[in-house]
Structure 1
Amino acid sequence: MKKHLFLLIIISISLHIQAQQTNLAEITSAAANTIANGKVYRYNFKSFARGKLAKMYPVSTGEVQLVITPNDFSGAIHKARLLAKSPQGITDVYMNQGTVYRIFTDSKKVYRTPRYRAASNLFDEQMLLPAYTLKDLKNASKKQGKLLKEEIYQGIACQVVNITSEGQLNLSFWLGKHHHLIHKVEATTLAYPGSTLVMEFSNVKAGLPLNEETFYPKYPKTYAIQEYSGQFPKIGSLAKDWTVKTYQGKSLKLSDLRGKVVVLDFWATWCRPCLQAMPHLQKLATKYQKQGLVVIGLTTQEKGKPLAMAKKLQVMYPIADGDAVAKAYKVNGLPFALVIGKDGKVIDFFNGYLGSETDQMLEAIVKKALKN
């Protein structure tokens, strides 16, 4: 009798968990689908941080309109319009067809750059958080996701969902119960214990018609347009030489790799986009190794166990401590990928990770470099 009762309890618990996971998948998929539908997703936001990160992320407010290609859950943004205010000043940004424009009214200048190259230096990409969490929402049931509770937030019935993501990142979403819109996100990471990044959303609208004029940069003709590449190594310049020792104990020197195309991937175990990018880098390394491609992972600001993380991600290219190299190349954000040609000169770089958009562009650049 006790044995049968025990089995019934186990079956009941199993069915409850299965039902909860099914319900979770429906909730989070619906939220992701409201964003990635090719139409305008609009919101006002307030972002700030608690704990040690409070000084790094002061209160910022603004309005965002973004467009995601239908059913693309990688975080690749088709168009965006941002207007925000923080202690650092006004952020006036247009993003269209892979190009970012930031307008500076005081100095009457417009900085322009390919989004993949230096856009994250022109504005805080946290403002586009709904786009960058699409993958987490879509795969919540596979990522230790939990439906925590139902709660009234800003007068709206919300379902609170918690997701453990890559990079030791823990995300909590307040999703509208009836319309599936995101109303709040809280993020914590093991890299900064006791700190929380918070983004509150209001006046959220989804499925708005696309007006191309909204995303076309507007500024006086008298403003000077400057191509912006930040403080990073100049394209066409000779990459500074360096020597590192991999975590496996092997010595690597850049100048010894002349005749090869080299991709340097600066990353850290606490950086979620870094970990999202690494499986594709491994595919790239495997696919083009015989043609002369070398991929090297360089950890920076590391606080975890990089070899264990690389093994978990099935990454086999060499990994080394890259703090000194990052300093030499003035890398100030992660992930950062630098492509160096057979002649040792900088071909291009990627500051940040934009999902499939970055993957495809990086592979195209590598293929072209290998043919030269």
Structure 2
Amino acid sequence: MTEPTTPAALFATALIVSASDGHARVDRDFLKRARIFAVRHVASGAEALAALRRDGLTLVLCDDKLTDMDGRDFVAALRADPALAAAPVILTAAGGTKADVLSAVKLGVAGFMLRPYSEVTFQRHLAMAAHMTRFAAAERAALARAVHKEAAGDVAGAQHAFAALAKAPDTAPRLFEEGMAALAVRDVERAILAFHKALAVNKLYVEAHLGLARAWLAKGSTRQYRHYMKQAASACARERRFVELRDQFVSLLAADEAGFNPFLALGHELLGERHYTAAVSLYRLALELAPKNADAYVGLSKAYHFLRRPDLAERAVRKGISLNERHLEARTIYRRLTGVRDEAIPGLEAPAAQPAAQHLPLLLRGVLYLAGLATETLVRSRRTSAKAA
């Protein structure tokens, strides 16, 4: 059967949630031009939630102002309900700051439009919502068939179907990288799409491994059951880490000021959270943005110290002192690492010349660390489960 490709083919109905009748009329007209005719308008978030629970998921166009709550609070309530979390939502606002636009990324909406918007803008966001809904449709259908076989008692058939899904390439880390790269250069629409895909792929990965675990349990293999349960649990942990990192980056970008280095700020946060390997990657990226930032070298030194690499910690703090010999924290760290008395600490040597950077956008290269960080839990679990096996 041919997969539907147009918004009208995917969205038979639409729900407009807005306290403004005027806004609703505009949106209804645009939807009709897109050949989506079954449109309902409600003014409150409570009415919208009730309608979605009663009538099923549909495309939602939500204003930032509702009669009973803020539109963002409505989207948050929607995402908190497992039965409604997958509803595609396009958030609209009469005005918005940079922080408002970035907050749309954290909400997981299918788009964010500022009123008044043109029909071209509306159609572009509608197409993006359709693309997000259509993404991984074949894999979701395969998962549904596997679950049906399991429910019918076909254990062998279910195991084979779940295993086929589990063997598919795990593209979630790459998609997450794309989202972070887009976010770093403020391409919000591309970031929204990439994050949605990353989380969708990860969810399929979890469901496939849970299905395999159940199949092996039905066949009496406790060892294999535990192995696949660990895989599923690790992927769940990875999803949480994806969301945490995305939201941290959004918060940092929202506070962006002149001279702001988001990688340095996030490195400090991860160091405080004891994610030392990730912090090392962030500080290195911060130094690509600002090669003469002594604070980045000091942070790098701390991270290496906690990773029990005193040689690298000393080298980093020496570079920090070379850049700023009056940096008190750098001198304190150097004294503790080497035992040299403060008055004997010289300005040290000038930092060695750095080789020319690759001719690739820094932020596109920079986010590569995220795949390793986000999959760290997964890899560790695989090693553990492999030993158990």
Fold-level similarity (TM above 0.5): no
The structure in which a higher percent of residues are helix is 2
TM-score bracket, normalised by the shorter chain, equals under 0.3
Higher strand share: 1
> Which of 1 and 2 has greater Rg?
2
